[in-house]
Amino acid sequence: MQLNLTPAKPRLQLSKDVDEDDVDPTQYRRLIESLRYLCHTRPDLAYSVGMVSRFMQKPKVSHLAAVKRILRYLKGTLDYAILFPAADKGKECKLVGYTNSSWCSDAEYRKLTAGYVFMLCGAPIVWSSRKEPVVALSSCEAEYIVASLCAYQVTWMVNLVEEITGKDHGVITMKIDNMSAINLEKNPIAHGRSKHIKMRFHYLREQIPDGKMNLEHCRTENQITDIMTKGVQVEVFRRLKTMMNIDSLDTMN
């Protein structure tokens, strides 16, 4: 069996309304349940498993083919895991969040796929990849909405880190690769680009002045949540996975 180097094809697009044969839904759901369990320790699977999970009601041949690709990828990475760096006494260990979105990635309804990762000491501790029930009118709006959704996690994450370390963590840095979304947060005036956005997505604006969060621009090639929101090329996938400290346990020997 030929193994795959990534769990999803680049720019993967799956649809419910395809003229294909049906597959056994019971077998398909069992596979998805097992894969979703693995997502608790393998953030590199989050996007691909989330994508195939959308078709459990009436799976088609192409959907099962996408699942088999994930299984082939897993067969070649059975010894992979999140590697936490050794703790150095006195070394400052900060929590950093990354947010990203894939605008209009849903083939049927053009809803955005949101992804975020919280890194502590250079290793992921919380991550998410899911389709949001909203339609964004621009990539700027999509990034802004995802950053606001991620801001909901900030208070809980700060309390968790402070409980573990016994110290005041301070401000959490959120890294976004869209300058327009950062500028939209800084401008509290409801203008043409933001007045239609639901008020619940402006929660982000409350967190910044309160000193709980700081938005920081990062280059697209350093945006590790790209593998949480879309299928990427093999070289990109490998590089971002390494940046997330997901590697073979053999490297520890």
169 pLDDT more than 60: yes
Q: Which residues constitute the domain of residue 74?
A: 1-78
Is 104 in the same domain as 220? yes
> Is 60 contained in some domain?
yes
Q: Which is higher by pLDDT, 108 or 102?
A: 102
Q: Which amino acid appears at position 192 of this protein?
A: G
Is 61 in the same domain as 102? no
Is 127 in the same domain as 221? yes
Q: Which is higher by pLDDT, 164 or 1?
A: 164
Bridge partner residues of 215 (DSSP): 174
pLDDT value at residue 236: 92
How much is the pTM?
0.82
Is 188 in the same domain as 99? yes
Q: Which is higher by pLDDT, 186 or 13?
A: 13
Q: List pLDDT tens digits, range 118-165.
A: 998 888 998 988 887 666 666 777 777 788 777 778 778 888 888 877
Q: Output the domain CATH number for residue 126.
A: 3.30.420.10
Q: List pLDDT tens digits, range 196-232.
A: 455 455 556 666 666 667 888 888 888 998 898 888 8
**What is the CA angle 235-237-35, rounded to 5?**
145
> Is 252 contained in some domain?
no
Is 142 in the same domain as 199? yes
Is 134 in the same domain as 33? no
